[in-house]
């Protein structure tokens, strides 16, 4: 383990903005963390844990320690005729991990294909797409508790998963470094009916473009990737964090007020009968944000929740642009948009 100074983070986050970290360290094994937390640099500086930087906007230089998680490894803990329990290092590439599970015909995270980021970052955000989220397959994770220096195990209840939410964004923020994640997947049948689990209509439509059902696991995986490729910017060409905002969860009164101004606005039931999830992207499109651009910052022309760095935008410029979006959304709906990205 070696702590470096004044490192440019541009190539370590998907927004591709220049920002320097006062200190930087890469973690490749658990022992590195135990060594790190004994150092004065760790004890005397603010810290930020970084995976692939796919959910981070550095709006300025970071006057502290950036800890890049790169612990790798995949292990089958147990399996039976119908399922498999997998333990995966927190530094593994999530998209590659999903491909690995599909190649082995294990079902459960195929809907989460092609999401940039690391396995260790997935529980923080409780990532989800097309009717599935990590919490659906999550068993437990291992992490280093930075308060005690000990390795701890956190189960699903302890993680307090919600819509794009977890304990790691609330009372557990900055307390843990996730070293591995354990999930349970099903051994897929040869033919999968769309009626067997919740699906977004858009995914069903994409599958039906190719052939009639039933479908294989690979069919579903391919359909998700096709949809993401058609809708989302290629982060090899444009800086982006994907969806920059979450879809708001609102109460019945807020929904009634929203529908007065946007009577066709789509909304969805949640587990709480008194709250509803609304489509922020649909509303932003109606407000004219889809495809809008100011200099090198803009909103993607195929998805109005996605903010793009078209060239050499700074983190400060991106943040100012997204603040304008938030203000316009609140002005027209009375509802606050929340960042899905971490603003540093």
Q: Is the pLDDT of residue 307 over 70?
A: yes
Element (H, E) at 66: strand 62-69
192-202 mean pLDDT: 64
Q: Is the pLDDT of residue 41 over 70?
A: yes
One fold for both 74-187 and 239-343? no
- Residue 39 has which token pair? 């150092």
Annotated domain spans of the chain: 4-69, 74-187, 239-343
pLDDT digits (tens, 9 = 90+) for 206-261: 888 877 778 889 999 999 999 888 888 888 889 999 899 999 999 999 999 999 99
DSSP string, 68-103: EE----EEEEEE-SSEEEEEEETTSBHHHHHHHHHH
Q: Would the pTM of this model clear 0.95, i.e. be above it?
A: no
pLDDT digits (tens, 9 = 90+) for 322-343: 999 999 999 999 999 999 889 9
Tell me if 318 sits within 8 A of 244, measured CB to CB: no
Instruction: Please state which architecture CATH assigns to domain 4-69.
Output: 2-Layer Sandwich (3.30)
User: Above pLDDT 90, what percent of the chain?
Assistant: 77
Q: Give me the CATH topology for the region 239-343.
A: 3.90.78
pLDDT digits (tens, 9 = 90+) for 95-147: 999 999 999 999 999 999 999 999 999 999 999 988 889 999 999 999 999 88
Q: Give me the CATH topology for the region 74-187.
A: 3.30.465
Tell me how far apart the alpha carbons of residues 30 and 36 are, in angstroms, rounded to a whole number: 10
- Residue 163 has which token pair? 């819509």
């Amino acid at each position: 383990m070696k702590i470096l100074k004044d490192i440019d983070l541009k190539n370590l986050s998907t927004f591709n903005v220049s920002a320097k970290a006062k200190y930087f360290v890469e973690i490749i094994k658990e022992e590195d963390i135990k060594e790190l937390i004994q150092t004065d640099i760790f004890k005397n500086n603010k810290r930020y844990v970084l995976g692939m930087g796919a959910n981070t906007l550095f709006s300025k230089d970071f006057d502290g320690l950036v800890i890049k998680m790169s612990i790798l490894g995949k292990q089958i803990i147990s399996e039976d005729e119908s399922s498999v329990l997998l333990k995966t290092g927190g530094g593994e590439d999530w998209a590659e991990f999903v491909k690995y599970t599909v190649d082995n015909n294990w079902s459960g995270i195929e809907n989460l294909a092609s999401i940039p980021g690391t396995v260790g970052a997935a529980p923080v955000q409780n990532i989800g797409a097309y009717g599935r989220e990590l919490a659906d397959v999550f068993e437990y994770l291992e992490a280093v508790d930075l308060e005690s220096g000990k390795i701890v195990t956190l189960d699903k209840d302890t993680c307090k998963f919600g819509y794009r939410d977890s304990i790691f964004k609330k009372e557990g923020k900055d307390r843990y470094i996730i070293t591995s994640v354990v999930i349970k997947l099903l051994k897929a049948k040869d033919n999968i009916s769309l009626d067997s689990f919740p699906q977004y209509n858009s995914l069903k439509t994409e599958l039906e473009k190719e052939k009639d059902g039933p479908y294989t696991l690979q069919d579903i995986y391919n359909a998700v990737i096709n949809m993401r490729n058609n809708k989302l910017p290629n982060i090899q060409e444009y800086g982006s964090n994907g969806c920059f905002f979450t879809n708001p969860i609102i109460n019945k009164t807020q929904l009634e007020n929203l529908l007065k101004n946007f009577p066709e606005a789509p909304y969805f039931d949640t587990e709480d009968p008194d709250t509803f999830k609304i489509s922020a992207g649909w509303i932003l499109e109606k407000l004219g944000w889809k495809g809008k651009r100011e200099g090198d910052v803009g909103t993607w022309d195929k998805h109005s929740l996605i903010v793009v760095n078209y060239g050499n935008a700074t983190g400060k410029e991106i943040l100012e642009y997204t603040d304008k979006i938030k203000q316009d959304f609140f002005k027209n709906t009375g509802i606050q948009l929340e960042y899905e990205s971490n603003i540093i």
